Structure 1
Amino acid sequence: MGRMTNAAGSPPAPTVARLTEADAAKQRGLRRMKALATGLLAAVAIVYALATAAEHGGAGPWAGYVAAAAEAGMVGALADWFAVTALFRRPLGLPIPHTAIIPTKKDQLGESLGDFVGENFLSEQVVTDKLASLGLSRRAAAWLSSPEHADRVTAELATAVRGGLTVLRDADVQAVLAEAITRRAEATEISPPLGRLLARTVADGGHRRFVDLVLAQAQDWLVKHREAVLAAVEGGAPGWTPRFVDRRVGDRVHRELLRFVQEMRASREHPAREALDRFLADFADKLQHDEATRARMERLKTESLARPEVQELIASAWAAVRAMVLTAAEDEHSALRARARAAVLSLGTRLTADDRLRAKLDGWVTDAALHVVTGYRREITSLISDTIASWDARSTSRKIELHIGRDLQFIRLNGTVIGSLAGLLIHALTRVAGG
């Protein structure tokens, strides 16, 4: 596993492992345990001195037993003090080999810890078994089936939508939409599908309702704007014609136009309607099969897309959609949020009842987790090794000692007690063997 380097190619400067408030509490506990272990060592040393003096003063056999027990206790305490201290620093500052193990082997320990985690916690079998035992799909089904949780999911989705729309710049979205729509439209020839649509519409008579609507509007306009027709005729007449003649001609034109429109409305077999049907059918055929017509439609499409009005229409459409979605997301009683909530509840119900769907969901989750584990195991474990490698040796040793040092002090206490008992037993056996 490679060590991290800075831009110059050399390893980065070690950083100090910061101590947290919890570390400060552990430090106080460690000091108390060190004081207790050292105090016990001092106590057995005093007992040893007093018992030895008593033995030499003729106090009796008991003094030898006490002195032997105290002496062995001191040896055990000192040996265990040396072993514990050698993990974190050099005892008494002496350059004794194989001491200060953690500071000198910090990087190797970090790599070993990363490998240990990768092999024993991020293996494919461990991940698969753990996910299988969790039953994620069944838990998700039960959770999503609750109306309270569905409300929470809907609220979180609404918050995410609002946040996403707030972060997005309208100009960027409009540019992307305009480019996507323009590219899609330019890549697709519209004449054949437009011709087929028009042919089906004419064959089904769907265009007749539109013609009826246009004729009705035309009739209403002619009835309400008779003077406009008369003024148009009079304005186009030669200057030498009498005014009353122009008036009568205009009136006749108005009556004929109105009669023509009324007759078209009244009869579906009107020649003008039949002519319109033939024109539309012929135009639909040309849109599909006439190269010249198709080329003209493509040019018209390209010119229309390039017009500023079309781009402004796309921009205004995005603004309208954005405002609509934001309003719906903020309103707890909007149709959008109601449908989202119903969809969440429906998903929970389906997951609860459908074993195959749950199995499929569990398979997706397992596949995704295995992909991450197999593809990025080294990157994940390197977080451990690289972080430890980036710490300076002294603070790393100190931080580790804070976490395990208090328990290690029990080794010193046990060494003192066990050493004393062993010394007492050895002394007793020696006296018995010697008669």
Structure 2
Amino acid sequence: MMTPAALARFNPAQPGATGMKIAATGLLVLMAATFVATRMLEPAYPWLGYVKAFSEAAMVGGLADWFAVTALFRHPLGLPIPHTAIIPRNKDRIGEALAAFINENFLVPSVVARRMRNIDVAGAAGRFLRTPAAEGTRIRQGASRLIADIFEGLDDERLGGIVKGAIAGRIEKMEVAPLLGHALASAINEDRHVPMLEAAIRWMARALEANEELIRAMVHKKANWALKLAGLDAKLADAILDGLRKLTAEMSTDPAHPVRMKVEEALAQLANDLQMNPDTRAKVEEMKEQLLANRSVALWIDTLWQKGREAIIRAARNPDAALAGRLGEVLRSMGASLEQDPRIRAAINQFVRRAAAGTAQSYGSSIVKLVSETIRSWDARTVTARLEAAVGRDLQYIRINGTLVGGLVGIVIHALDSL
């Protein structure tokens, strides 16, 4: 628990409060000295009666305000006068009243929503993303350093294990067959499979040329002795190779080739089976589990995590360079959209309002309880020191004003009495 002395050193408002306290006390002492001097000199200089009246009334006003200010925080002169040391004696009630005030004026969902109705969060975010000011740059750089420090400071093995486990667990729970089927069906409907099919045909042609000798050897090995004796095995191999070359050439140039149509029908059937056929989906799930159990896949996920982590740290360490590239263009484009598109801005602002109101409704009671219990847990000296440090400067102004106003009232009364 912090002592009042420690709080005085900690709170930046305390030095100003201390200076004002010295000024108020000094003014009170000056009024007392002035009263004594004018009382002694008044018989010789009758006009000093006004000065004496001012200083006398100022002493009364200053002492009264000193008593009132002091009675808020402690017993004046250490005397247990009734209704003094108000704050220490009622700290629990003050905590409950403060918590109730926060709850009734700030944490009511309707109040939060009404206060946020005039706050354009999306517009502010758009302006920040499109043309970040110097303050925004400092905020971005500070946030970037924080992100980089967090990623570098966390246990890489443990954090990496959590991330990789989450990725693997997500893939394991996800049924990939329908997704693959839907993707394949969309590609076929939009003719995005054609380049892949043509690339496969070209690959077949290159593979045929590269393995010509292997095909001839296979034909020679499978031919019987009569074909070999007549030398027909070589002609048979030439015929097979010529037929395969002609087939690949025709498939490459003719989109309506029967074999090519059969391949497309097979792809369409595969897309349908991946989405609808339970046996096909079960086979794909089995293949997925085998892949996840493969050590090579685990190493691939590990490499993916390491590269992602390094990229995040590298971008965070140099946010200006990262934002100067494609990412910067995307963010600036997002900022322009947020500023110019009223529908997007309205949707985001509505989401923020609902989120804030929902937070107030869900956690408002917890926040109120935290405030009241925190103040209740403080001892009386801590509460007194913190409140006095926060408002002490203004309270000393009250003492000074009371001294001066009392003096002016004293002059008025003396003048009326003289008349």
Q: TM-score normalized by structure 2?
A: 0.68
Query: Structure 1 stretch 411-420 or stretch 249-258: which is displaced more?
Result: 249-258
2:264 and 2:411 mapped to 1: Cα distance?
A: 118
Q: Secondary structure of 1:142's partner?
A: helix
Alignment of 1:216-255 (within 5 A): 216-223=206-213, 229=218, 233=221, 248=228, 253=233
Distance 1:175 1:72, change over 3 A: closer
Counterpart residue identity of residue 390, structure 1: S
- Report the counterpart of residue 11 of structure 1 in structure 2: none
Q: 1:14-62 deviations in whole A, cap 9, x for unaligned?
A: 65463316245235414422431441353255247536xx66xxx6976
* Offset, 1:99: 0.3
1:140 aligns with 2:125: yes
1:154 and 1:425 mapped to 2: Cα distance?
A: 62
- Report the counterpart of residue 22 of structure 1 in structure 2: 12
Out of 387, 405, 408, the residue aligned to residue 400 of structure 1 is 387
Q: 1:181-240 deviations in whole A, cap 9, x for unaligned?
A: 333348859899989999x99xx9x968746743652453133686x659x949x99xxx
Out of 356, 372, 378, the residue aligned to residue 359 of structure 2 is 372
1:305 aligns with 2:292: no
Greater CA radius of gyration, 1 or 2?
1
Contact 1:26-1:402 at 8 Å conserved across structures = no
Out of 84, 88, 112, the residue aligned to residue 69 of structure 2 is 84
Out of 216, 227, 241, the residue aligned to residue 261 of structure 1 is 241
- Report the counterpart of residue 179 of structure 1 in structure 2: 169
Contact 1:65-1:424 at 8 Å conserved across structures = yes
- Report the counterpart of residue 254 of structure 2 in structure 1: none
* Offset, 1:156: 9.2
Distance 1:60 1:285, change over 3 A: closer
1:210 and 1:188 mapped to 2: Cα distance?
A: 24
Out of 335, 339, 345, the residue aligned to residue 352 of structure 1 is 339
Q: 1:263-315 deviations in whole A, cap 9, x for unaligned?
A: 23325899xx98998799799879979xxx974x5664455334368633533
2:2 and 2:23 mapped to 1: Cα distance?
A: 29
Distance 1:16 1:247, change over 3 A: farther
Distance 1:265 1:110, change over 3 A: same
Distance 1:377 1:24, change over 3 A: same
Contact 1:26-1:403 at 8 Å conserved across structures = no
Q: Which runs of 5+ in 2 are unaligned?
A: 252-256
1:60 and 1:208 mapped to 2: Cα distance?
A: 119
1:321 and 1:191 mapped to 2: Cα distance?
A: 25
2:140 and 2:397 mapped to 1: Cα distance?
A: 54
1:110 aligns with 2:95: yes
Distance 1:280 1:418, change over 3 A: closer
1:22 and 1:259 mapped to 2: Cα distance?
A: 97
2:53 and 2:144 mapped to 1: Cα distance?
A: 78
Q: Secondary structure of 1:99's partner?
A: coil
Distance 1:263 1:84, change over 3 A: closer
Count residues with an aligned counterpart: 396
Distance 1:305 1:377, change over 3 A: closer
Out of 294, 297, 301, the residue aligned to residue 314 of structure 1 is 297
* Offset, 1:85: 1.6
Counterpart residue identity of residue 304, structure 1: M
Alignment of 1:271-282 (within 5 A): none
Contact 1:219-1:258 at 8 Å conserved across structures = no
Counterpart residue identity of residue 110, structure 1: G
Q: TM-score normalized by structure 1?
A: 0.66
Q: Which runs of 5+ in 1 are unaligned?
A: 1-13, 238-244
CA RMSD of aligned residues (A): 5.4
Contact 1:69-1:424 at 8 Å conserved across structures = yes
Distance 1:401 1:45, change over 3 A: farther
2:378 and 2:226 mapped to 1: Cα distance?
A: 103
* Offset, 1:100: 0.6
Counterpart residue identity of residue 62, structure 2: A
1:156 and 1:23 mapped to 2: Cα distance?
A: 27
Q: Secondary structure of 2:364's partner?
A: helix
Contact 1:288-1:294 at 8 Å conserved across structures = no
Distance 1:429 1:97, change over 3 A: same
2:259 and 2:64 mapped to 1: Cα distance?
A: 115
- Report the counterpart of residue 343 of structure 1 in structure 2: 330
Counterpart residue identity of residue 43, structure 1: A
Out of 22, 27, 33, the residue aligned to residue 32 of structure 1 is 22
* Offset, 1:397: 1.5
Counterpart residue identity of residue 343, structure 1: V
Out of 330, 341, 361, the residue aligned to residue 348 of structure 2 is 361
* Offset, 1:123: 5.8
1:66 and 1:336 mapped to 2: Cα distance?
A: 72
Out of 204, 207, 232, the residue aligned to residue 214 of structure 1 is 204
Counterpart residue identity of residue 245, structure 2: R
Query: Structure 1 stretch 64-73 or stretch 174-183: which is displaced more?
Result: 64-73
Distance 1:162 1:325, change over 3 A: farther
Query: Structure 1 stretch 120-129 or stretch 408-417: which is displaced more?
Result: 120-129
2:33 and 2:410 mapped to 1: Cα distance?
A: 16
* Offset, 1:249: 7.0
Counterpart residue identity of residue 101, structure 1: I
Contact 1:196-1:288 at 8 Å conserved across structures = no
Distance 1:424 1:342, change over 3 A: closer
Contact 2:100-2:368 at 8 Å conserved across structures = yes
Contact 2:31-2:59 at 8 Å conserved across structures = yes
Counterpart residue identity of residue 241, structure 2: V
1:161 and 1:81 mapped to 2: Cα distance?
A: 52
Distance 1:188 1:337, change over 3 A: farther
